[in-house]
Amino acid sequence: MRIQTFSILAGSAACNARCPFCVSRMTPAQGMGRKPAEPHWRNLRKACLLAQQAGVSTAMLTGKGEPTLFPDQVTAYLQALEPFRFPFIELQTNGIPIADGDIDDGLLRRWYDLGLSTVIVSVVDTEAESNRLVYLPHRERYIDLPALVARLHAIGFSVRLGGIALRDRLDHPAALQRLLAFGREHRVEQLTLRPVTTPDPATVQDQEVFAWTRAHAVPDERWQALAAWVREHGRLLMHLVHGAAVFDLDGQNLCLSNCLTVRPDGSDLRQLIFFPDGHLRYDWQYEGAILL
Q: Which is nearer to ligand SF4, 5 or 94 (CB)?
A: 94
Among positions 71-130, residues that touch ligand SF4 (CB under 6 A) are 94, 122
Binding mask 207-246 for ligand SF4 (x = CB under 6 A): ----------------------------------------
SS3 state of residue 104: coil
The Cα–Cα gap between 193 and 249 comes to 13
- CA 37 from centre of chain: 21
| CB 211, min distance to ligand SF4, A | 16
Collapse the DSSP code of 191 into the 3-class scheme (helix H, G, I; strand E, B; otherwise coil) and give the result.
strand
Least Å distance between CB 248 and ligand SF4? 28
Give the number of other Cβ atoms within 10 Å of residue 122's Cβ.
21
For ligand SF4, which is the closer residue by CB, 213 or 252? 213
Cβ at position 226, least distance to ligand SF4 in Å: 22
Q: Which of 19, 196, 249, 254 binds ligand SF4 (CB under 6 A)?
A: 19
Nearer to ligand SF4, 65 or 234 (CB): 65
Residue span binding ligand SF4 (CB under 6 A) among the ranges 11-19, 30-38, 171-179, 198-206: 11-19
Question: 77 or 212: whose CB is closer to ligand SF4?
Answer: 212
Q: How far is CA 288 from the centre of its chain?
A: 23
Residues in the chain: 292
How far, in Å, CA of 142 to CA of 135, rounded?
Answer: 8
The angle subtended at Cα 282 by Cα 276 and Cα 283, nearest 5°, is: 95
Q: Which amino acid is at 4?
A: Q
Residue 156, sorted as left (phi over 0), alpha (psi -120 to 50) or beta, turns out to be left
User: What kind and span of H or E run contains 8?
Assistant: strand 3-9
Stretch that binds ligand SF4, among 12-20, 80-88, 204-212, 231-239 (CB under 6 A): 12-20
CA 154, distance to chain mean position in Å, is 22
Of the candidate spans 22-30, 223-231, 245-253, 266-274, the one that interacts with ligand SF4 by CB under 6 A turns out to be: 22-30
| Cα distance between the two ends of the chain | 17
Counting contacts by CB under 6 A, is residue 66 touching ligand SF4? Answer: yes
Q: Does 143 bind ligand SF4 (CB under 6 A)?
A: no
Does 17 bind ligand SF4 (CB under 6 A)? Our answer is yes
Among 22, 61, 175, 246, binds ligand SF4 (CB under 6 A): 22
Q: Could you say whether residue 32 binds ligand SF4 (CB under 6 A)?
A: no
Going by C-alpha positions, the residue among 164, 132, 158 that lies closest to residue 145 is 132
In Å, what is the CA distance from 188 to each residue of 35, 71, 120, 156, 158? 33, 24, 10, 12, 7
Give the residue with the Cβ less far from ligand SF4, 18 or 235: 18
* Among residues 23, 159, 218, 226, the one that binds ligand SF4 under rule CB under 6 A: 23
Kindly determine how many residues on this chain lie close enough to bind ligand SF4 according to the rule CB under 6 A: 11
Q: Which residues contact ligand SF4 by CB under 6 A?
A: 15, 17-19, 22-24, 65-66, 94, 122
